[in-house]
Structure 1
Amino acid sequence: MSAPADATASRVPAGPMARFFRRLGEGRDNSLGLLAILIVLVVVLSFVSPYFLTATNLLNIGRGIAIVGIVAVGETIVIIAGGFDLSVGSVMAASGMIAGFLVTHGAPLPAAFAAALAVGALVGFINGAIISYARINPLIATLATLAIIRGLGYVISGGRELVISDEAFLTFGVGQVFGVPYIVILLVATFAVFAWLMPRTLFGRYAYAIGSSAKAAQRAGVPVSRWRIVYYVTCGLLSALAGLVFVARTGNAQPSAALGIELDVITAVILGGTSLTGGRGRLWGTFIGLLLLGVVNNGLILVGVPAFWQQVVKGTILLVAVLYDELRRNRVEEA
């Protein structure tokens, strides 16, 4: 009886909703599940707080996730390529300090921005070179550069912050066009550009190939070491860009900037479905994970949850995301 029943069931065409739940159950489309959770959360919070769905609050969420999101683009690419970068917060602080120092000493704004981006690219190059040629574990290598860059920032600045008064610099962080903040536009543009590049160019295809199997990619003729450096330089550049946004938003450059931002960045990336083992992930998944984090943070504030508990919630979300990634990886290996 069961065989005919199964055969009959298999002939029944699966509708969009059936395919949706089947893909979720098989762990093949994390972004769909996240999107469903995000929609439910938005609906719940709209009933909990009448302020939640106002334009002002939604733009606040956008501003709140912009800096983390720009860094998360670079981190996603590095992790897809089988790497990891813990130095992103230190690069943000160092780049912001460089730009702030130059601007406060009369340098043209474009020169200050270029110098800040150069710092990010240099740190990314160092990370990539150490990992590729010295064969040091990415976690250890970038943890070391995290400490070195952060420490140099304190040494050079003496632990003091720089107050920025340059109007053009500050406008970069707080300006708007048609009511939409510049930094939100920058966030969406950054995701859109790299989401387009990843599946369509060698930049993206090599990242997936290297992350899936660096040895196989090497045998296929991919210059693995050079491309790894490219991905770390990209992450460094985007971290430096986020550092400029941070300084422009806050109006000051400080060596302690972006402490702990790595937690939010990595949570958004892993939550979005990028595998810690490399070779799998999508930037739009990271974007949805970022939105989910932003909505959760905003919702906790609106309902009056203390800041300490917000950290507990974010840590729990990261743990659940990592456990889910491990479960999904085991399913793929068993299949």
Structure 2
Amino acid sequence: MNFIAVFKKYGIFAVLILLIIFFSVTSKAFFIPSNLFNVARQVSMLGIAAVGMAFVLLLGGIDLSIGSQITLVNIVTAWLMVNAEVHPVIACLIAIVMSVSIGFVNGWIIANLKMPPLIVTLSTMTIIEGIAYIICKGIPIFGFPKYFSELGQGYVGPIPIPVIITIIILAIGAFVLNKTYFGRYFYAVGGNEEAAKLSGINVKRVKYLVYSLSGLFAGIAGIVMLSRTNSGQVLAGKGFEFDVLTAVVLGGVSVNGGFGKISNVVAGVLIIGVLSNGLVLLDVSQYVQMVTKGIVLLFAVAFDCIQKNRKLKAVAV
């Protein structure tokens, strides 16, 4: 196995380890149990939403509406619990069904109208964000039952509940991709959509499913975020889709579709979490953090494109 092959397989984990070592040396507050659990809790919503984004990218698509879906789930769930006095469980279920429906609509438009996923999800992102503002008029909603905060703030032993939820979601995502025919369909459609059609795969239904799952995981992430912050806010998911996309692409899921796995996505999510936490501990400004994350995403996509071009040249030869 040559160096490039080894780097492609394990490089993401090496980067994660190097980041941990760097921040451990530069900040005494980084490598302590309380902060490490804090990092794990902070990236839990990112990890949940990343599974849905990974599925979408495997199809060769993209979902920019994830952040706005999380915002809308925050606002709708909060509004139902506080203003309509709906039981928290029912409110959460209604919000998640809504989020899944939004994902399904995205998939239906993309599959049937042949519109670019970038344009479709950018449009729905704007629409959803506007609806969230209309519902709450830009004012935070709070005053939930005390037990609702347990979902985002509670522990099972020493482990935060959001971390447990994230691990379960990531395990489900890995199982779907590796052990089910749905996972094989995702790779097939993303690798070559026309060939997938000729092999008997119903490509439209696969797109409906994938975007609906993206909505499902965004909805779950939104519920966990609401419970953690204990306040429904219109800025809850603002820019969140950027962090999710960066983590997934950094984790090796190809933006061109057909390649990627959940185990590397986990490393990508942790890198974003460690990077964000470490920069905060070093008192680096938010604007520098934005620049850093932008550079990380640019390099991750560039690396993916370079690999694709190499494969195309190899096939041509």
Q: Normalised by the size of structure 1, how large is the TM-score?
A: 0.91
Taking the TM superposition and a 5 Å limit, the aligned residue runs for 1:1-335 are 19=1, 21-24=3-6, 27=8, 29=9, 32-104=10-82, 105-335=84-314
Secondary structure at the counterpart of residue 43 of structure 2: helix
2:5 counterpart letter in structure 1: R
Range that drifts further, 155-164 or 92-101: 155-164
Contact 2:75/2:135, CA 8 A, preserved across alignment? no
Quick one: percent identity of the two aligned structures?
Answer: 36
Q: Letter of the aligned partner of 2:27 in structure 1?
A: S
Deviation at 1:20, TM superposition (A): 7.1
How far, CA to CA, are the matches of 1:246 and 1:319 in structure 2? 27
Q: Over residues 296-321 of structure 1, what are the superposed CA-to-partner deviations in whole Å (9 max), with x where a residue is unaligned? A: 11111122211111111011100111
CA RMSD in angstroms, aligned pairs only: 1.2
* Cα separation, partners in 2 of 1:301 and 1:119, compared to 1, 3 Å: same
Code of the residue aligned with 1:74 in structure 2: it is G
Which whole-Å deviations, capped at 9, do the CAs of 1:190-221 have from their partners, x for residues lacking one?
11111122021012110000001111111110
Structure 1: 5+ residue stretches without partners: 1-18
Shift of 1:144: 0.6
- Aligned-partner residue type, residue 117 of structure 1: I
How many residues align structurally?
313
Kindly provide the CA deviation profile for residues 219-277 of structure 1, in whole angstroms up to 9, marking residues without a partner as x.
11001001110000000011011111111111111223210111101000110011111
Contact 1:195–1:284 (8 Å) recurs in 2 = yes
8 A Cα contact 2:78 2:144, kept in partner: no
Tell me if the contact between 2:69 and 2:237 (Cα under 8 Å) persists in the aligned partners: no
Rounded Cα–Cα distance in structure 1 between residues aligned with 2:107 and 2:71: 20
- Could you tell me how far 1:53 is from its partner in structure 2? 1.4
String of CA shifts for 1:26-71, please: whole Å, max 9, x gaps: x4x2xx1010111122122222222211110101111111111111
Rounded to whole Å, the distance in 1 between the matches of 2:21 and 2:127 is 45
Letter of the 1:70 counterpart: I
User: Secondary structure of 1:278's match?
Assistant: coil
**CA distance, structure 1, for counterparts of residue 197 and residue 19 of structure 2:** 44
Query: Which amino acid counterpart does residue 44 of structure 1 have in structure 2?
Result: F
Q: Residues 164 and 253 of structure 1 are in contact (CA less than 8 Å); yes or no, is this contact kept in structure 2?
A: no
Letter in 2 for 1:114: L
* 5+ residue gaps, structure 2: none
Question: CA 1:20–1:63 in 2, change beyond 3 Å: closer, same or farther?
Answer: farther
